[in-house]
């Protein structure tokens, strides 16, 4: 390998000949898709899942990026809520979701003469509980960013060099990750979360999560933003709107925002 991981990534993608990228408009998949298309042209396609756990604004960003870059994009209706394995929300929910998602991507790739399917996990993803990566391995889906050893920080740095709009975009996880394991996932709950998080964005917050516990909303924001939320006018607006969205109670997590907070209560070794 060279000393430049971006060059390594380009060489690896070039060696594949053709690839379908699972594209969510996030930092990692945007970077991977951009490099793949730069190297392979029309032999690199984007496949975006349309589902209740994928916010509309992310879908719109994915669509806009592909149109701007001239990338062929295919929309896959994953319908994961129809699966009891997913909707019942076991701790390995992500495995079932990814298995359904990538099985669909593989079909789309085959139908369009594309040899490989790739996803955008990076080296940092190996440090958290990620059952979805088991599905990636089982189905033979490629992980080019991990293949060349790229970390999140490096991906952001290279994204900035390439002028990508996602270089400083906050990390995002599917809306289902806002629901505690064992609590059933419904389209209604996911829509409540989406509307609530859209409101926080409208209020100027950049990093946030709205976790759902029955009829309770638990808001996570970075510690530095907590004071903003308890300002009386903003607090009142959040409470009023969240109740309008369907929540009975609205709480603020004093620990602040952290990734994977729903994993704190499970034993991932079993």
Whether 167 is in a domain gets the answer no
Range of the domain at 23: 5-161
* pLDDT at 146 exceeding the cut of 90: yes
pLDDT at 266: 58
Q: Report how far residue 126's alpha carbon sits from residue 121's, in angstroms, rounded to the nearest whole number.
A: 9
Pair 128, 185 in one domain: no
Q: Is the same domain home to 122 and 94? A: yes
Residues 148 and 179 in one domain: no
On whether residue 219 sits in a domain, the answer given is: yes
Say if residue 103 is in the same domain as residue 126. yes
Task: Tell whether 223 is covered by a domain.
Answer: yes
- Write down the mean pLDDT value for the chain: 92
Residue 73 has pLDDT above 80, yes or no: yes
Which pLDDT band holds residue 268 (cuts at 50, 70, 90)?
very low
pLDDT at 102: 93
Q: What is the mean pLDDT of residues 80-100?
A: 93
pLDDT, mean of residues 214-239:
95
38 and 151 part of one domain: yes
Answer yes or no: do 118 and 212 share one domain.
Answer: no
Written as one string, the DSSP assignment of the chain is: --S-HHHHHHHHHHHHS-EEEE--SSHHHHHHHHHHHHHHGGGEEEEEEE-TTS-HHHHHHHHHHHHHHT--EEEEE--GGG-HHHHT--TTHHHHHHHHHHHHHHHHHHHTT--EEE----GGGGGS--THHHHHHHHT-B-HHHHTT--HHHHHHHHHHTT-TTTTPPP---GGGGS-TTSPP-HHHHHHHHHHHHHHHHTT-SS-EEEEETTEEEEE--GGGHHHHTSHHHHHHHHHHHHHHT-SEEEE-TT---TTGGGGGS-TT-
Q: Are residues 125 and 189 in the same domain?
A: no
**Residue 270 in domain:** no
Average pLDDT over residues 204-213: 95
Among residues 66, 94, 97, 174, the one annotated as catalytic is 174
Same domain membership, residue 203 and residue 123: no
CATH number at 45 reads 3.40.50.620
Q: In this structure, are 118 and 141 located in the same domain? A: yes
Is residue 134 in some structural domain? yes
Under the banding of pLDDT at 50, 70 and 90, the label for residue 3 is low
1 band by pLDDT with thresholds 50, 70 and 90: very low
Query: Mean per-residue pLDDT for 50-75?
Result: 94
Range name among 4-18, 63-77, 123-137, 202-216 with the lowest pLDDT average:
123-137
Is the pLDDT assigned to residue 130 strictly greater than 90?
Answer: no
Give the pLDDT of residue 203. Answer: 96
Q: Could you tell me the CATH number of the domain that includes residue 200?
A: 3.30.70.2210
Q: Is residue 169 part of a domain?
A: no
* Range from 3-7, 119-123, 136-140, 153-157 carrying the lowest mean pLDDT: 3-7
Q: Is residue 245 domain-shared with residue 203, that is, in the same domain?
A: yes
- Indicate whether 51 and 149 sit together in one domain: yes
Residue 86 belongs to a domain:
yes
Annotated active-site residue 97? The verdict is: no
Domain count, the chain: 2
pLDDT of 269 above 50 = no
Say whether both 38 and 86 belong to one domain: yes
């Amino acid at each position: 390998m060279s000393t430049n991981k971006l060059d390594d990534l380009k060489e690896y993608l070039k060696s594949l000949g053709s690839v379908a990228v699972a594209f969510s408009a996030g930092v990692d998949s945007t970077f991977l898709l951009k490099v793949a298309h730069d190297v392979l042209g029309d032999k690199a396609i984007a496949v975006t899942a349309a589902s209740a756990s994928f916010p509309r604004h992310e879908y719109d960003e994915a669509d806009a990026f592909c149109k701007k870059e001239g990338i062929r994009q295919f929309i896959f209706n994953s319908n994961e809520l129809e699966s009891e394995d997913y909707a019942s929300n076991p701790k390995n929910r992500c495995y079932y979701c990814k298995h359904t998602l990538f099985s669909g991507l593989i079909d789309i790739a085959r139908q369009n003469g594309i040899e490989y399917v790739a996803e955008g996990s990076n080296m940092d993803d190996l440090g958290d509980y990620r059952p979805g990566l088991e599905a990636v391995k089982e189905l033979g889906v490629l992980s080019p960013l991990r293949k060349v050893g790229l970390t999140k920080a490096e991906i952001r740095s290279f994204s900035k060099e390439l002028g990508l709009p996602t270089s400083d975009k906050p990390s995002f996880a599917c809306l289902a990750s806002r629901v505690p394991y064992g609590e059933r996932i419904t389209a209604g709950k996911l829509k409540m979360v989406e509307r609530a998080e859209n409101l926080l964005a409208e209020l100027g917050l950049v990093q946030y999560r709205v976790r759902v516990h029955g009829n309770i909303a638990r808001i996570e924001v970075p510690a530095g933003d907590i004071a903003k939320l308890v300002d009386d006018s903003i607090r009142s607006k959040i409470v009023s709107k969240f109740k309008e969205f369907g929540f009975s109670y609205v709480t603020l997590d004093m620990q602040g925002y952290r990734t994977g907070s729903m994993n704190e209560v499970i034993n991932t070794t079993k």
